Structure 1
Amino acid sequence: MISRVTSTLIFATLVTASNAHAQVRTVRDIPTALAVEAVAAAVADCSSKGYNVTGIVVDRAGQLKALQRADNAGPHSIDSSRKKAYTALTTKNSTTRLMENTQKNPAAANLVFINDFIAVGGGVPMQVEGETIGAIGIGGAPGGHLDEQCAEAGIAKIKDRLK
Structure 2
Amino acid sequence: MKRRHQIVTTLGLACLVYGSVQAEEATYTSITLTTEAALKAAQAALVSCREGGYQVAVSVTDRLGTPIVVLRDRYAGPHTPEAATRKAYTSASFRMSSADLAEATQTGKATSGIRHLKHILALGGGLPIEAAGSLVGAIGISGAPGGDADEACAQAGIDAIQADLDFQ
User: Scaled by the length of structure 1, what TM-score is found?
Assistant: 0.85
- The separation in 2 between residues aligned to 1:104 and 1:160, in whole angstroms, is 39
1:23-62 aligned within 5 A: 23=24, 25-62=28-65
Q: Which residue of 1 aligns with 2:23?
A: 22
- The separation in 2 between residues aligned to 1:22 and 1:92, in whole angstroms, is 28
Q: Which residue of 2 aligns with 1:85?
A: 88
SS at the partner of 1:80? helix
SS at the partner of 1:66? strand
- The separation in 2 between residues aligned to 1:88 and 1:106, in whole angstroms, is 19
Paired residues, what number?
148
Q: Structure 1's 68 and 151: CA in aligned 2 closer, same or farther, altered over 3 A?
A: same
1:68-107 aligned within 5 A: 68-103=71-106, 106-107=109-110
- The separation in 1 between residues aligned to 2:21 and 2:101, in whole angstroms, is 40
> Out of 108, 119, 131, which is 1:116 matched to?
119
Q: Which residue of 1 aligns with 2:6?
A: none
SS at the partner of 2:123? coil
Q: Which residue of 2 aligns with 1:157?
A: 160
Structure 1: runs of 5 or more not aligned: 1-15
> How far off is 1:25 after superposition?
2.7
Structure 2: runs of 5 or more not aligned: 1-15
> Out of 47, 56, 68, which is 1:65 matched to?
68
Query: Quick one: percent identity of the two aligned structures?
Result: 37
Q: What is the aligned-residue RMSD (CA, Å)?
A: 1.7
